[in-house]
Structure 1
């Protein structure tokens, strides 16, 4: 496990969420599932307490800590997608029971916020040409799920078809 790994707090759904997340991305798997051995506000003996999992090669922990804390978009998982097909696949999977937000953000059924971002967008907004970057940002601000073709048109200064 990494020296620093995000710990995601759930109310009884840690294992379910971890299994869902590892189903989405390559190089992902459940590493360890640990039960509670004593009664706590998060669960009773035998209930799942902690799930260590690897998501796209990075270590995470999911804790069933009880109903005391909720996720907010102030912390999100940023996924860099190779192409529109990957954006679409992840977006559609996370949307089941989730809520779409602006600019490529989505909150999944467990309350975790994700940014589903095509690699092309990151490349375009790093361009030294501020006019190109402005056009791409303006196009992105009108989107919910990000659309690579529309972003590339904005980058080139072409109007959407």
Structure 2
């Protein structure tokens, strides 16, 4: 099973990552690319993490996704640092023999990243204000659907 996890400041090349995972012989490859949302004067999102701990936590959830959904491979790349509006922030890829497994695994991993990954997010506004991003109930509800699944 191919497994790639990275936490990095640098942008990622989604096309290259998809091509690398497609070499697994999969029948289906699902992807999710998250972007920094704008609006309300937001200029950027600052992401902080604990090096080492964050990568290990993401690797554990990717391995769990591979087990639950019988994946041939998966890739999770999450960016850190100051990311401007519309910047790519996260890439989740899952490769499997059948599309449903790849789609479900991608949903499982992104729901976990939104609710369980050890990142701290701070919004940076054009007028100089900052605000820490709080957990949202809708994200918790989405992640709860995976409890006991698989």
Q: TM-score, normalised on structure 2?
A: 0.28
Instruction: Point out the structure with max Rg over C-alpha.
Output: 1
**Greater relative contact order (Cα 8 A, min sep 6): structure 1 or 2?**
2
More strand by share: 2
Q: TM-score, normalised on structure 1?
A: 0.26
